[in-house]
Amino acid sequence: MDITVNILLTIATAATPLLIAAIGELVVERSGVLNLGVEGMMIMGAVGGFGAGYLTGSPWIGLLAAIIVGALFSLLFAVMTLSLATNQVATGLSLTLLGLGLSGMIGTSFVGQPGVRLPNLDIPGLSSIPVVGRLIFGQDPLFYISIALTAAVMWFLFKTRTGLTLRSIGDSHSSAHALGIKVIRYRYLAVIFGGACAGLAGGHLSLVYTPQWVENMSAGRGWIALALVVFASWRPWRVLAGAYIFGAVWIGQLHAQAFGIPVPSQFLSSLPYLATIVVLVLISRNKRLTMMNTPASLGQPFVPDR
C-alpha cells in the first residue's frame, strides 16, 4: 500500500511542472499566439528560482523569482511577435535557444551547490491519515497551486466575459479588432501569463522535483507541455489528464530502470518522447476534431490597421 502511495505521489510531482507549463501555454494559444519558447522560459525559471533560493536561503523567494524571470523572458517574445510582428515559430525557437544558453551561463556557478526545497504541506492530524492523508494533505505547495490554476483557467476561459473575449481573439483577430477589442493588449497579457506559468514550472523543477541546478534540467518538458496542449485540444481539464498520463510514463520508466528490467535504460528514458509522438499521432489523425478545436488565428501575426 505504501509503495502505491509513494508511486502516486511521485507521479503527481512529475506531472505538476508539465501541467503548470501547459496550462499557461493553453491560455497563450487560446489568444491565437503560438509560443514555442516554453522550454526556454522553463529553464530560465529553473535557474532563476534556484539562484534566488540559493542566495537568499528561502525557497519561497526562489519561487517568486522563477515566476518573474519566466514572465520577463516571455516579454521578449511578446515585443518581438506582437509589436514587431515577427514569425512566431522562429521567434519561439530563438527564445528556447537563448534560454538554454543564458541559463547555462548564469548557472555555471550553481552547479553542484546544494539547493533549497519547498517544504511539503503538513497539517497535523490530517496529513497522517493512512493512504489519503499524504495524497490529499501532504504534497508540495505547487501541487495544490497547479490544480487551482487549472480550475481558475477553466473558469476564466469559459465562464467570464474576458475569457470569451480572449477566445474570440484567438479565433479571429481581425473580427475582434473590428469590434474595438485591444487585440495586442490581450495577447501581451496572455503571453506574459504563459511565461509566468512556464517560469513557475521551471521553479518546480529546481525547488521541488530535484532541488539543485543541472544544466538543461528541463529535458524537453517544455516541448512535452506544448504537445500536451495539442493533445488536450485546447481544453484545461484534458491538459490535467494528459499531464498525469505523462507523469505516469515518466515515473514508470524510472521505476522500470530501478527494478532492473532487462531493457537498456536509454530505451526506457526515450519512452516519454516516443509516447508524446504516439499521442500526437492519435489525436491529430482525427482531422475534423483538431480543426474544430484549434484556435483559428493560431500562429498568425496580426498588425492592427487604423
| Residues binding other proteins (CB under 8 A) | 36, 76, 80, 83-87, 89-91, 93-95, 97-102, 104-105, 108, 219-220, 223, 226-227, 230, 264, 266-267, 269-270, 273-274, 276-277, 280-281, 284-285, 287, 290, 303
CA 40 to CA 57: how far, in whole Å? Answer: 25
- Contacts with 193 (C-beta within 8 Å, 6 or more apart), sequence order: 24, 27, 28, 71
Q: Nearer Cβ to other proteins, position 159 or 288?
A: 288
What is the residue whose three cell numbers read 495539442?
A: 230
Minimal distance, residue 137 CB to other proteins, in Å: 36
What minimum distance in Å lies between the beta carbon of 284 and other proteins? 4
Smallest separation (angstroms) from other proteins to the CB of 107: 9
Distance CA 133, CA 141 (A): 15
Q: At its nearest, how many Å lie between other proteins and the CB of residue 87?
A: 7
Which lies closer to other proteins via its Cβ, residue 19 or residue 230?
230
For the beta carbon of residue 72, count every other beta carbon within 10 angstroms. Answer: 16
Give the C-alpha separation, 224 to 149, whole Å: 19
What is the number of other CB atoms lying within 10 angstroms of the CB of residue 286?
Answer: 11
Q: Which is nearer to other proteins, 11 or 184 (CB)?
A: 184
Cβ-based nearer residue to other proteins, 24 or 222: 222
d(CA 109, CA 41): 20
Of the pair 129, 245, the CB lying nearest other proteins is at 245
Q: How far is the CB of 221 from other proteins (least distance, A)?
A: 11
Cβ pair 149, 197 in contact under 8 A? yes
